[in-house]
Amino acid sequence: MKQLFLYFSHKLTPEQERDAKNSLGIEKFVALPDDLQKLWSNVPPELSNLNEYLIPLKDFLRQNAQKEDFVLIQGDFGASFQMVNFAKQLGLIPVYSTSKRDAIEKVVNGKVEKFSRFKHVKFREY
């Protein structure tokens, strides 16, 4: 059974779920436990080195993923870089979501405001 581990700060959209099932063959989505999700979503910017900080996140992946499972990795650039390399060492397939941005301009209270909508396009392997 192909799994997709979610090292991602948001919820997957229904479109992303469909694409993961269709294009990657995903049968199971694995969210981080709440405590690890808080770590992933709140990487302290003042840390000079993330090695110790990422240990619990690496341990979870090592203990739960199987070779050739997928890992959606998006977040803090340094943490993402380290987790991508770690996932590859484990024989996992790290991916990220690509999107298309549509900009919309609206007049709100007499002022032009710009809004951006992001639409998932596909998953791309790192």
| pLDDT tens digits, 51-107 | 999 999 999 999 999 999 999 999 999 999 999 999 999 999 999 999 998 888 888
Task: Evaluate whether 71 touches 87 at the Cβ level (below 8 Å).
Answer: yes
Q: What is the DSSP letter of 59?
A: H
Q: Mean pLDDT across the stretch 37-62?
A: 98
Q: Report, in this order, helix, strand and coil percent for the chain, each rounded to 5.
A: 35, 35, 30
Total count of domains within the chain: 1
Q: What is the DSSP letter of 2?
A: -
Residue span of the structural domain in which 76 resides: 3-125
Task: Evaluate whether 111 touches 58 at the Cβ level (below 8 Å).
Answer: no
Angle formed at CA 34 by CA 80 and CA 44, multiple of 5 degrees: 45
| pLDDT tens digits, 8-19 | 999 999 999 999
pTM here is 0.87
